[in-house]
Structure 1
Amino acid sequence: QAQLDQAELDLEYTVVRAPIEGRVSKTQIKLGNLVEVGSTLATVVDQRNIFANFSISDRKLLELVEARPETEEPADSPEDWSKIPVYLQRDGDTDKWMSGKLDYVDQRGIDQKTGTFGLRADFDNQDGKLLPGMFVIIRLPVREVENAILIPERAIVRNQTGAYVMLVGSDDQIEQREITIGQTLDGWAMITEGLSANDTFVLDGLQRARPGSKVSPKTIELSTKDSPMLQAAVESNSDTAESEPVSEPTPTVNPTQDEPASDSSTAD
């Protein structure tokens, strides 16, 4: 009876049932091959959800911890971390961001060898646009900054003493102004000190702009719509990366003068 029971159990094991739905990978075991106990027959891959593994520095981790949404859950609960939005862009894409959520944080803490903290985000992949092993760009918003002043990086002049911009005064004279730069993103820089929303700075023609010289500026209008990454960075707090931005640089257009010596734009 014991031998019969063992034979029936072995017979049940000859039918292999996948624990999850998905697609079967290539297998080296074919019909008629000798199979030993513990041999891997195949791998089932479910690509309807894709996990993106990435890491951040210990300094950014501290900012992220401080910026986590307030919740009644314990500070180390998965529900608390999952409220932080994560955005993904495939390497080579320029105008598409996918939204997801944090799924796992490294319980071992910061890797002392690299000084980084491991994270994993979960993304819906029903359309199959993501493949395992693909290199992607991850954007993890740490905090929101209201009324930030954004200017193109090409308007910033850097030297050994620091960074500055060339301003156009009310009398159309050039003035050099030192600035403090915060985060930079996709060709844009956030100015934390040195500029106000009413200042007008030189954008093009910096090689001809000298402090004290007089110019005939031509004012142009800036927009973040040409920068998909910045467009996603200034979007409203929603579940998707396709929503309209809260604000974008829209300078006040001043009267255009003839024969401009340099182009300028109002900071906003």
Structure 2
Amino acid sequence: MTEVEPSSPHYRDDIVADAPRPISRRGRLLSWVAGIAVLALVVLGAVWLAQSSSNSGGNGRGPGGGGRRGGGQPTTVGTVKAVRADLPIQVEALGTVTPAATVTIRPQVSGTITQVLYREGQLVRKGETLAIIDPRPYQAALLQAQGALIRDRAQLANARVQLGRYQTLLGQDSIARQDVDTQAATAKQLEGTIAIDRGQVQQAQINLGFTRVVSPVTGRVGLRVVDIGNYIGAGDANGIAVVTTLQPIDVAFAVPQDQAPAIGKRIAQGAEIPAVALDRTRTQTLDQGRFSTLDNQVDTATGTIKGKARFANASGQLYPSQFVNVRLTVDTISQAVTIPPAAVRSGQDASFVWLLKPDKTVTQRTIKTGIASADKVQVVSGLNVGDIVITDGGDRLSEGAKVALPGDKPAAGAGGGRRRRNRG
């Protein structure tokens, strides 16, 4: 082997030929760009594969699923037929139970109470005695008035006899006419005195009757106000008792002024408007009655008009000042075409329903609605009796979509496809 001297002219060229060449800055930049591009392609490919797998093996709600036109399973919906039914026109309002009469029984004469004949909360009848005031002073006054009447009647009889004698003497020209006229005036004066005495006797009898305090109405007595031995004056503010009429009883309420003409029209026709009193949850019927009357003016502050309904309250479920809900059946539309409220949907211009066709596809039908209740809606136009409309699942439908009913069997092809995919 021949050694090459360092001083030889070939020494530097051999070293340069065997050593690796350094990478430039431009080459490094290109390498980074290529690596990033490859990584982006890998990520995009993974995303595309994931989407493809979900669309091919998902729940069928892709471009052709969800009951839309194309492939996939039809949407299961609930249906109902349009039928004819009597639809009541009802008005509901919040009312307050008001007794037909509330009477504070005040005595008409003064005296000491000797008997109290009622219990607190007792039901009393009209004319029933509630308390007795000491009657002895008024019995004495009656005797005095009767005695004065008897005395004055005797004086009148004597004056009339004397007048007859004077008239006889005047016919014989034995007495002056002035004496006759004076005696006639005395008889007339005594007749007036007797009239006064009769009035005093009647007043004494009335006062004696007032010593028995009676109820002027039928109702329930409140809490006791006075006791035996108390002295009470005539017209005392607190009275002896308070009686409230509970049977019948009224309910006062307010209705919007827009509904007043319909109620007034029925009243003018002489029709009876049924009324129902419900509890605050509108689930329990407390009593049934009839509408009584409307007020004669509208409340400008609320835009309502007051009304009143009367109830027999035989079961006693209505109590004064109780809050109840009143439902008036103003009128009834006979044999109206009706559907459930769930079938009616709101569009941009009008209401519509999804109409089920014989081939189990749906089409949109515009309708015009009328009176609505809790479970029925009147269809004025757009539907006929027997038409089948969609009630449940209508929010997932489109024009011409295929639907399935709850009782339908699933398609065989769809089940086989599932089994094949499960085996795979």
Question: What one-letter code is carried by the residue in structure 2 that aligns with 1:54?
Answer: F
- Determine which of 202, 209, 221 is the counterpart of 1:24: 221
Distance 1:181 1:213 in 2: 25
Distance 2:314 2:328 in 1: 22
Moved more, 41-50 or 6-15: 6-15
Q: Measured at CA, do residues 43 and 209 of structure 1 come closer, stay the same or move farther in structure 2, by a change above 3 Å?
A: same
State whether structure 2 residue 240 is matched by structure 1 residue 41: yes
Distance 1:8 1:95 in 2: 53
Report how far residue 202 of structure 1 moved: 0.7
Question: What one-letter code is carried by the residue in structure 2 that aligns with 1:193?
Answer: S
Q: Which whole-Å deviations, capped at 9, do the CAs of 1:196-236 have from their partners, x for residues lacking one? A: 21221111122332222111234xxxxxxxxxxxxxxxxxx
Q: What are the within-5 Å matches in structure 2 for residues 41-80 of structure 1?
A: 41-68=240-267, 70=269, 80=270
Name the structure 2 match of 1:147.
335
Instruction: Compute the TM-score of the two structures, normalised by the length of structure 1.
Output: 0.65
Distance 2:376 2:245 in 1: 39
Q: What are the within-5 Å matches in structure 2 for residues 1-268 of structure 1?
A: 4=141, 12-32=209-229, 35-36=232-233, 37-39=235-237, 40-68=239-267, 70=269, 80=270, 83-92=272-281, 94=283, 96=285, 98-106=287-295, 108-218=296-406, 256-259=407-410
Moved more, 196-205 or 95-104: 95-104
Q: Which whole-Å deviations, capped at 9, do the CAs of 1:109-142 have from their partners, x for residues lacking one? A: 3333333222211111122122222222222222
Q: Measured at CA, do residues 126 and 139 of structure 1 come closer, stay the same or move farther in structure 2, by a change above 3 Å?
A: same
Report how far residue 69 of structure 1 moved: 6.9
* Higher relative helix content: 2
Pairs aligned (count): 211
Distance 1:259 1:51 in 2: 60
1:181/1:189 contact within 8 Å kept: yes
Name the structure 1 match of 2:160.
none
Q: 1 or 2 for the larger relative contact order (CA 8 Å, sep ≥6)?
A: 2
Question: What one-letter code is carried by the residue in structure 2 that aligns with 1:86?
Answer: A
Matched position secondary structure for 1:190: strand
Question: What one-letter code is carried by the residue in structure 1 that aligns with 2:246?
Answer: Q
Distance 1:97 1:104 in 2: 21
Q: Measured at CA, do residues 69 and 149 of structure 1 come closer, stay the same or move farther in structure 2, by a change above 3 Å?
A: farther
Q: Measured at CA, do residues 160 and 132 of structure 1 come closer, stay the same or move farther in structure 2, by a change above 3 Å?
A: farther
Structure with greater Cα Rg: 2
Distance 2:378 2:286 in 1: 21
Runs (5+) with no aligned partner, structure 2: 1-137, 143-202, 412-424
Question: What one-letter code is carried by the residue in structure 1 that aligns with 2:292?
Answer: D
Distance 1:59 1:207 in 2: 34
**Percent identity between the two aligned chains:** 27
Distance 2:380 2:236 in 1: 61
Distance 1:172 1:180 in 2: 24
1:69/1:84 contact within 8 Å kept: no
Distance 1:133 1:181 in 2: 39
Report how far residue 47 of structure 1 moved: 1.6
Distance 1:129 1:135 in 2: 12
2:291/2:328 contact within 8 Å kept: no
Name the structure 1 match of 2:72.
none
Q: Measured at CA, do residues 42 and 104 of structure 1 come closer, stay the same or move farther in structure 2, by a change above 3 Å?
A: farther
Q: Which whole-Å deviations, capped at 9, do the CAs of 1:41-98 have from their partners, x for residues lacking one? A: 321122221211122222212122334474xxxxxxxxx36x3322332334536474
Report how far residue 18 of structure 1 moved: 0.8
Distance 1:68 1:11 in 2: 48
Moved more, 197-206 or 4-13: 4-13
Report how far residue 35 of structure 1 moved: 4.1
Q: Which whole-Å deviations, capped at 9, do the CAs of 1:235-264 have from their partners, x for residues lacking one? A: xxxxxxxxxxxxxxxxxxxxx53249xxxx
Moved more, 43-52 or 91-100: 91-100
1:182/1:191 contact within 8 Å kept: yes
Distance 1:125 1:28 in 2: 27
Moved more, 27-36 or 204-213: 27-36
2:279/2:324 contact within 8 Å kept: yes
Q: Measured at CA, do residues 178 and 169 of structure 1 come closer, stay the same or move farther in structure 2, by a change above 3 Å?
A: same
2:287/2:317 contact within 8 Å kept: no
Question: What one-letter code is carried by the residue in structure 1 that aligns with 2:399?
Answer: P
